Amino acid sequence: MENRCMKFYHPEKKNGTLNRICHEDVCRCAEENCSYQRKQGTEENRKTV
């Protein structure tokens, strides 16, 4: 299986990169509106409603 990586860029930042939190070789999005956090927040809302 081929491993693929995607990079996303912030349209309003001068350097264009998204903020990340990294530990060793694993990074997560640290932006308030990144898709992972939105998805996780939606799942949490479903659990509490």
The pLDDT tens digits of the residues spanning 4-48 come to 666 666 677 777 777 778 888 888 777 666 654 445 544 444 444
Alpha-carbon span 47 to 5, nearest angstrom: 31
Torsion sign (Cα): 36, 41, 44, 46: negative
pLDDT at 1: 53
Question: Range of 43's domain?
Answer: 1-49
Report how many domains make up the chain.
Answer: 1
Beta bridge partners of 29: 20
